[in-house]
Structure 1
Amino acid sequence: MIGIAGAGAFGTALAVALAKGGREVRLWARDPQQIRLMHETGRNDHALPGVELPQNVSIRAEIGDICGGEALLLAMPMQALGGALDAWPQVGARQPLVACCKGVDLTTLRGPVAVIEARRPEAQAAILTGPSFAADIARGLPTALTLATSGKGEALQELLSTPTLRIYRTDDVIGAELGGALKNVVAIAAGTVIGAGLGDSARAALMTRGYAEMVRLAEALGARAETLAGLSGFGDLVLTCTSSQSRNFRFGVALGTGEAFDPRVTVEGVATARAVVELARGMGIDMPVTAMVNALALGKIALNDAIGQLMSRPLKQE
């Protein structure tokens, strides 16, 4: 049995894919009304409209019901991860704990695996990340993801792989975490460029310089550059900077056009930018794209001023 804590779009999509791959899946949801509707309709239309839940996905209201299996996937926003583990003493070390979120914790300035390890040091902690949209996974479209863990990950890799979900394994946890977190920040910047009408050439330049920032910070924190060149870094960056399915990209477009953005939609890159600006400042690392995104999201700088600052940076060798 695989337990999934979080019946949002990504948690539900993983439940569908893993169940179609022959696994027994227990999906925990917090909202009683959502649970009732899923039982009645056999779908989770709140998160993934029109996607049928396979028979081997059972919906659970008690967190203890999804614990003790072969793995527990924690599919929730990054900023909610630590609080959820604090509130769930039932979640122990009887199974690997796999973070299915991307970002940097605002309190500790650490990634998801470090947040898990701080609260469950005896458990095998891992992160599942990479270029993926929930709708694609749920529809059975081919998707490749990265599983990062410092422990032996072969069994977990096999468990989470299906005919349509290909899992690659790495022991570079920091690299995988930062790739998934920082690409959201760059995606906001890319969306801002498009929203402001600056064109695809400007977006390509922005993505390139943003990727350089990703590698710079990751290497300073002990990650390997080749990890950032893989699925969890470059692959995810390309996806989220070029598709309107990305919430971070859509948020950036709204910044660029000056339109309001739905406050109910989680945009992980906003909190990540805040955390990374603080982290980079403490390490003396220059991250102008991240700083621009943070200032724009907080309303501390006008769009034209932000663009002007980036374009007026000192000329140098690439």
Structure 2
Amino acid sequence: MIQTVELIGAPTDIGASVRGAGMGPDALRVADLPGTLARLGFAVVDAGNLAGPATPWSAPSDGLRHLDEAVAWNRAVYDAVDAALGAGRLPLMMGGDHSLAIGSISAVAWHARQRGQKLRVLWLDAHTDVNTHGTSPSGNIHGMPVSCLLGHGPAALTGWSGQRAALGPEAIRFIGIRSVDAEEKQAIRALGLTVFDMRHLDEHGMRNTMTEALQDVDDDTHLHVSFDLDCLDPADAPGVGTAVRGGPTYREMQLCMEMAADTGRLGSLDVVELNPALDVRNRTAEVAVELIESLLGKSTLAR
């Protein structure tokens, strides 16, 4: 049976620090994501771009920027991902900034619980995104989605999965981390989060890291990948708003995606923080499409 991938565009930079992530979904289309997936053997439904409020670029209020607008965009994402999963499709949410993972993963968590499945989230990112309105130096919500999903965010952005925390700390694995605020470090320890930072990758390699991250993924697991393009080294992916030097290389990230694909359990995907305004001739979008191909099963040889 041919699996159907549903592309869901969320063209907003509502949670970001710089303008441009809202153009990410169309940059992926320009890089021929729909055609690439079709050639890989998937049925592809492009649901188009969701609608939502404009980014006002206002100052933080109570430690949060653009809370009402972020809620509106995440509600739209939640509804779209919920509908795609309900129709038996694999939702591929194209951001937009990483705050949109609140809506996406909340919908995934609700479906996983209804099906009696264990949820495993791979958070591929240079940042852990576990700030709160009380610790964030900027108030930008794209630095807070993990806290919201763990039930520690503002009331307006928690509880969407049917319980206060969409995820428990044991459900998430961070890969590629190399930029963590001082108070985030304390939160990571207090919450007991599993973080494979760049030192771990340097010492153990991507193969051993992914083996650890996926070791308990089984036939009853729904695997969700939340892929922030700033996880990659900016030499390979310059078109991101919060680039941090020293990330995984293109080849390391290919192995990461291929090993995730090998589980056969991928059920949903976010691709976020692509900023064409900072890119070079859509190069980052093209890299993203190649990595998405690998995550969805493309390999050099039949394995």
Larger fraction in helix: 1
- TM-score of the pair, normalised by structure 1: 0.27
- TM-score of the pair, normalised by structure 2: 0.28
- By relative contact order (CA 8 Å, sep 6+), the higher-ranking structure is 2
